[in-house]
């Protein structure tokens, strides 16, 4: 299932929310600020992994 935004994904998909919650706070904030269009867990992981390696 695909969602329209990262917030909608986090609010609707428990696995995505669990992944998001496992990230450091600074990575979570960057995801919410810059990567607002994650449509599924796979995209969220790509964005999150990218942020973790670049910080």
pLDDT at 19 over 90: yes
pTM over 0.85: yes
User: What tens digit of pLDDT does each residue of 22-50 get?
Assistant: 999 999 999 999 888 999 999 999 999 99
Nearest to 3 by CA among 37, 32, 48: 37
- How many whole angstroms separate alpha carbon 13 and alpha carbon 2? 10
3-state secondary structure of 32: helix
Residue 17 has pLDDT above 90, yes or no: yes
pLDDT at 2: 81
From first CA to last CA, the distance across the chain in angstroms is 30
Structure confidence at residue 1 (pLDDT): 74
Please answer whether residues 2 and 40 qualify as being in contact, where contact means their C-beta atoms are separated by less than 8 angstroms.
Answer: yes
Whole-number pLDDT of residue 55: 76
């Amino acid at each position: 299932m695909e969602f329209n935004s990262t917030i909608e994904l986090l609010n609707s998909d428990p696995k995505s929310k669990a992944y998001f919650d496992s990230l450091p706070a600074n990575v979570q904030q960057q995801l919410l600020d810059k990567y607002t269009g994650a449509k599924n867990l796979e995209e969220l992981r790509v964005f999150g992994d990218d942020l973790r390696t670049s910080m």
